DNA sequence: AATGAAAACCCCTCTTT
DNA sequence: AAAGAGGGGTTTTCATT
């Protein structure tokens, strides 16, 4: 059953339990989920398939822990462009910078807003220099995360 | 083999190939990885176990797509605290707000920097009101993401 | 650190209600 | 939507190099 464009998939309590288990560990077995939610493995499987087809559950991924391979600095960088028309070229250039893990076109102060991972502050300086050389970039503003106290997915 | 505190785990080219495949899809089978990297499934399995034990690869998770369940607004919110000593209490309170998916203690303008997911702008306004009632919060500054053009993990 | 073989486990389909 | 049964594939362990 496909839902109409822009309408939201309705999750019942069993769906939510299943999703939270998979959000916590993508490899949770059907048998384990089955025991927890009280329906058969087949029923769990059918629900997961439906949720995947609807796009509610997306592909599972393994996380690389940046800290463990020497990336200790998390920062957010607001980028000012003197003309918004440079946005698309800037994004194209930013995709070539591996340290940039998020880029947003935002309302508010900045034209582009970035999340950037670096090994250390020297490395961050390099990235800032690189950013400031991009066409149309007039200025950047950096927030360094000293401590990430919350990092999780949405709970509904 | 445990690495010393603060030293980085050394990844060889085979490790990296394995990690990138798992970062793309946590459920990539050992057989498939084996064919790609040219070592046996058992060897792949041993390497993955080592990487997991070292914490380089973290638990795999399934993604809930916020948009599909009606969460359309991604925003970043800088929070000003009149005293940094309120930080810990603020974090405790923020953990109770499901819409807050990241919180950072930052250098720069803001004391706390948040990533917040909301259904729509009205919902965002509710969250902003909630935040402004927290003890020590003097002001907030909001950036709404109109388009997320990059969203990925670190590549090394 | 890597291998092949065997055991244990799990996913997925089919059939039925 | 949900259940049980069975085949095929996958993970995991074991012994060996």
Region A74-93 average pLDDT = 96
Which chain A residues are closer than 8 Å to B59 by Cβ? 24-26, 62-63
- Determine, for residues B71 and A99 on separate chains, whether the beta-carbon distance falls below 8 Å: no
CA angle B110, B95, A37 (to 5 degrees): 150
pLDDT of residue A6: 58
- Determine, for residues A149 and B91 on separate chains, whether the beta-carbon distance falls below 8 Å: yes
Query: Would the Cβ of A31 be found within 7 angstroms of any atom in strand C?
Result: yes
Least Cα separation, residue B59 to chain A (angstroms):
6
pLDDT of residue A156: 86
Q: What is the pLDDT of residues A24-82, one digit of tens each?
A: 999 999 999 999 999 999 999 999 999 999 999 999 999 999 999 999 999 999 999 99
Residues in chain B: 156
Structure tokens at A154: 């949405």
* CB-based contact B74:B42 (threshold 8 Å): no
Query: Would the Cβ of A41 be found within 7 angstroms of any atom in strand C?
Result: yes
Report CA-CA distances (Å) from A75 to A3, A153, B41, B100.
38, 19, 38, 18
Q: Rounded CA gap, A98 and B155, in Å? A: 6
Structure tokens at A7: 């309408």
Q: Which residue has the tokens 């010393």?
A: B4
Q: What is the pLDDT of residues B5-31, one digit of tens each?
A: 557 899 999 999 999 999 999 999 999
Q: How many Cβ atoms from other residues are within 10 Å of residue B30's Cβ? A: 15
Nearest to A37 by CA among A59, A55, A22: A22
Q: How many Cβ atoms from other residues are within 10 Å of residue B84's Cβ? A: 12
Structure tokens at A90: 């800037």
Q: Sketch out chain B's domains with CATH numbers.
A: 13-53 (1.10.10.10), 66-145 (3.30.70.920)
Report which residue is nearest nucleotide C9 when distances run from CA to C1': A29
Query: Would the Cβ of B41 be found within 7 angstroms of any atom in strand D?
Result: yes
Q: What is the reported pTM?
A: 0.92
Q: What is the pLDDT of residues B44-99, one digit of tens each?
A: 999 999 999 999 999 899 999 999 999 999 999 999 999 989 999 999 999 999 99
pLDDT of residue B22: 97
- Determine, for residues B143 and A102 on separate chains, whether the beta-carbon distance falls below 8 Å: no
Q: Select the residue of A66, A143, A153 nearest B107 (Cβ to Cβ).
A: A143
Is residue A1 predicted with pLDDT exceeding 70? no
- Determine, for residues A144 and B62 on separate chains, whether the beta-carbon distance falls below 8 Å: no
Confidence of residue B115 (pLDDT cuts 50, 70, 90): very high
């Amino acid at each position: 059953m496909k839902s109409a464009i822009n309408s939201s998939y309705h999750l019942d309590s069993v769906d939510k339990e299943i999703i939270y288990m998979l959000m916590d560990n993508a490899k949770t077995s059907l048998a384990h989920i089955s025991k927890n939610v009280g329906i058969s493995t087949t029923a769990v499987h059918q629900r997961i398939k439906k949720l995947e087809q609807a796009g509610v559950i997306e592909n599972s991924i393994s996380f690389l822990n940046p800290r463990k391979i020497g990336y200790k600095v998390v920062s957010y960088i607001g980028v000012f462009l003197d003309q918004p028309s440079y946005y698309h070229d800037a994004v194209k250039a930013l995709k070539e910078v591996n340290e940039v893990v998020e880029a947003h076109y935002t309302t508010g102060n900045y034209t582009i807003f970035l999340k950037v991972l670096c090994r250390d502050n020297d490395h961050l300086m390099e990235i800032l220099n690189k950013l400031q050389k991009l066409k149309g970039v007039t200025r950047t503003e950096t927030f360094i995360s000293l401590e990430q106290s919350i990092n999780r997915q949405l709970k509904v």
